[in-house]
């Protein structure tokens, strides 16, 4: 996944890299807030608790998408 991110983002203009950086920090790296707090728990999907069931669904979705 890291190699894909490098490939996809490294060649982008600086302003687009900065936009992606902001999104990644907001959703992945900032642990002092919940970016999905405004979404009902049952509707959070990938932003919710990462359970084994959710992990399987994401894996299946990615497998289908990449096939």
pTM for this predicted structure = 0.65
Confidence of residue 30 (pLDDT cuts 50, 70, 90): confident
Contacts of 54 (CB under 8 A, 6+ apart): 45, 46, 48
Q: Tell me, what's the pLDDT at 1?
A: 76
* Cα angle value 26/6/32 (rounded, 5°): 15
Listed residue (25, 62, 33) closest to 46, CA to CA: 62
């Amino acid at each position: 996944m890291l190699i894909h991110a490098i490939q996809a983002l490294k060649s982008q203009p600086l302003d687009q890299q900065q936009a992606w950086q902001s999104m990644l920090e907001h959703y992945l790296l900032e642990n002092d807030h919940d970016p999905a707090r405004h979404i009902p728990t049952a509707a959070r999907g990938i932003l919710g608790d990462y359970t084994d069931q959710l992990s399987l669904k994401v894996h299946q979705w990615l497998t289908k998408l990449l096939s």
